[in-house]
Each structure stands twice: as C-alpha cells, then as structure tokens.
Structure 1
Amino acid sequence: MSDPAAQPRRGRGRPVGSDGASTREQILRAARELFSEVGYDRATFTDIAARADVTRTNINHYFRSKDDLYRTLFEADKGSVLTTGIADAQTRADLADRIAVFLRTAMQVDAEDRVYTRFLAASLFDALRNPELGDWATEQVDYVRGFLRAALETAAANEEIRPDVDIAAATEMLIAAIWGMAMYAGFVGTPEQLEPMIDQFIGLLRGALA
C-alpha cells in the first residue's frame, strides 16, 4: 500500500483534476463579467464562484480578497487594451493616425471578447464611486492623458495642428471622447458599428485641429 504522506498534495482549494492556470482563468473571466454587470460593491465571491463553476474556497486559493481580485483584473486589462493600444499608436507619426490606431486596437480586443472593453469602462465608474479604489481611476485616466498630451505636443512641434490649439483642453476633449467610445463599444454598439464611427471621429478631428 502506498504511503498517503508520499502522495502529491493539491493546492488548497484547487478542484480535483483541474489545472491551476485554467481554474484561475475561469475565475478571472467570471469575475470580469460579473463586475461589469453589477459593479464592484454588489459582486461577491459567492456569485463569482457560481459563475465560474467553482467553490468559494477555490477563489480564496488564488485571491486573498475581492480587492486583490479586482486589482488583478484591472492591471491585466489595462495591459491588454490600453498599453497595447498606446504601443501600437506610437509607431505612427501623424496625430490622427496615432489616435485612430489606439482606438482600433481597443476595438479589436472588443471584437475578440467584448467583456474586456466593458470591464475597463465599468471599472472607471466603480473606482470613482468607491474612495478606496480612487487611485485606480486616477491612474487609468492619467495613463491615457499622458499619451494624448504627448501626441498633441509632438503634433504642435511638427506644425500638424494650428498654433492656437489649447493642448490641455484638447487633451481633455479626447479623453472624454475616448471614454465615451469605450462605453459605446462595451455596452451599446457592435464592432461593425464602431469602425465607421472611428473613421468619422478621426475625420472630424483632422478638420478641427489641422
């Protein structure tokens, strides 16, 4: 008879026969969906466990708290949508092209799995509603603000835009437009509707700033 003590032990809370990485991804996907649907305050580990078809103990194996789980999602989606979009945009020299590439990169993520864009849009409101999450909202907006301001300053230095353009005001205008599009992409429209909308927005931007 084999010695039970010699048998490999499962991690605490991991389902029998499960793969750790896939279980963690199940939990993250279910949490992303639920946070997007009901918000940070109303989502519970019990609800997330039911959506992911695991136990609450499974979730506690990977995440210490709801705050920990939420921050993990926030950082992952920031990387997949915002960081990727900005990196792609910075390969373009023209201001309008940079913003178009940034929006289309985010739209491509949305086309592949709408819940990513939905979560990023919803998480901003969650952070603004909850003082303990406020630093996330500031970080998210400032990250995009920095990209947009730098793009506008480069365009001004290259005389791509009119000298009377107020860089600070134009930056805030673009932030408002981009977050409005994120809400539209996540909750209202479809990728097919978003593509011509981006084309129209970029056309208006060229006319307004050039």
Structure 2
Amino acid sequence: MMTGSAAQPRRGRGRPPGSDGAQTRDVILRSARELFSEVGYDRATFTDIATRAGVSRTNINHYFRSKDELYRTLFEADKDSVITAGIADAGAAGDLADRMAAFLRITMRADSENRTYVRFLAASLFDALRNPELGDWAEGQIDNVRGFIRPALEAAVADGTIGPDVDIATATEVLIAVVWGMSMYAGFVGTDGRLEPMIDHLTALLRGALW
C-alpha cells in the first residue's frame, strides 16, 4: 500500500527539466531566429539563445546537437514557409510583373506576422558570404527564386510580350537582386504602410520597362 504523498508524474525519459516538448522547441527556434538576424551566425551562441528563450543550454542540446544543426533547421523551415510558399502562390498570377508583385506581397505578409522571418532569410545571405560552409544553403535559396523568375521571362519572350533581344540571364539576376533588396528593406527598414505602395510602384516600373 502506498503511503505518504501521492506519486508524482514521471518526466519523459531523456528530456531535461523545464522542457515541454514542441512548445519549448518553438521558443528556441524563435529566439534563435531573432539572434541570428541581429548578430549573425558567427556571434550567436547556444548560451545567448538559451538566455533569450528562457531555457537552459541543456534544453537546446536536447533538440539540437550543434549550432550548425539549429541554423540549418531554422533556415529550411523559414525558406519553406516564405520562399517556397511565395513561389507556389505567386505562380498562379498573370504576367511577370503580377507574379513579382504577388511574390513580394506574400513575403511581406510573412514579415508582418513575424518580422524576423524575412530578416533572417535576407541576413542568411550575408552569413553565407562569411561562412563558406553555409554557401550551399544560400545558393539553394537563390536558385529557387531564379527558377521562379526565369521561366516567367522566357514565357514573356515566347509570347512577344518582351522583345526577343532581351538578355534573359541578366534580367533574371537583376530581378533576383530586386527581390533580395526588397527583403532586406522589409526586414530591417520598411513598415507595412511603406511596403505596399513600393510594390505597386515596382509593378508599374516593370511594365514600363519591359512592355
């Protein structure tokens, strides 16, 4: 017969004190996204992330074995929720200018929900320049955007919307630079009230320059 105080529920095996599963993991990811965006990959440490998240470093190590693994997890998740989702939704828009505008609006929508999403993805390109081991991640992100823009340019040339003498490769890179620049502006400078008119103006400029 059991005597004394009632038996306490047992903590899940291997889980550090203070951990509550998916919620703790989400807090860690959110705090890491903020810190990586502010100070970059090199300067962010597990200790700093733990402090911001209000957990112990042991909590972080329970979910992520290294800073590299944490960064990769965060990068892939944010790329899917912003870049991949934006490309999928914008692909249904009309001409190239409409597709660019739709993609940027979807990206800005993610930014308005949590400003650090776009800030982190934009800053990750700088991290890749400073850390060659991160280069393939950033290049993959650029390739995704390139694979969205170039076919739209090729279709515009094929149907005569754009003249046949356009340099598609160069035009693609110019528009990639525009997307990156707008992402940097959205993440670090702009506000919702400024971004929407800027996208409208960009659409008008694209139509005036290409059509």
TM-score, normalised by the number of residues in structure 1: 0.94
Alpha carbons 1:13, 1:60 under 8 Å: kept: no
Seen in structure 2, the aligned counterparts of structure 1 residues 115 and 10 have a Cα distance that, compared at 3 Å, is: same
The CA deviation at 1:15 is: 3.5
- Matched with 1:32 is 33
Provide the rounded CA distance (Å) in 2 between the counterparts of 1:29 and 1:11.
25
SS in 2 for 1:19: coil
1:47-196 to 2 correspondences below 5 Å = 47-196=48-197
The CA deviation at 1:159 is: 1.8
Mind listing any 5+ residue stretches in structure 1 that lack a counterpart?
none
Counterpart amino acid of residue 133 in structure 1: L
Alpha carbons 1:152, 1:167 under 8 Å: kept: yes
Give the percent of matched residue pairs that are identical in Structure 1 and Structure 2: 71
Provide the rounded CA distance (Å) in 2 between the counterparts of 1:106 and 1:132.
26
The CA deviation at 1:140 is: 1.0
Mind listing any 5+ residue stretches in structure 2 that lack a counterpart?
none
Provide the rounded CA distance (Å) in 2 between the counterparts of 1:182 and 1:11.
42
SS in 2 for 1:54: coil
Provide the rounded CA distance (Å) in 1 between the counterparts of 2:163 and 2:207.
11
- Matched with 1:10 is 12
Provide the rounded CA distance (Å) in 1 between the counterparts of 2:126 and 2:68.
15
Post-superposition CA distance 1:101-149 (Å, at most 9, x none): 0000001011111010000000111012101111112111111111111
After TM superposition, what 4+ stretches of structure 1 lie above 4 angstroms from structure 2? Answer: none
Alpha carbons 1:11, 1:61 under 8 Å: kept: no
Provide the rounded CA distance (Å) in 1 between the counterparts of 2:146 and 2:107.
16
Provide the rounded CA distance (Å) in 2 between the counterparts of 1:11 and 1:177.
49
Post-superposition CA distance 1:18-42 (Å, at most 9, x none): 5301000000000000000000000
Provide the rounded CA distance (Å) in 1 between the counterparts of 2:132 and 2:57.
26
Say how many residue pairs are matched. 208
The CA deviation at 1:72 is: 0.4
TM-score, normalised by the number of residues in structure 2: 0.93
The CA deviation at 1:11 is: 4.3
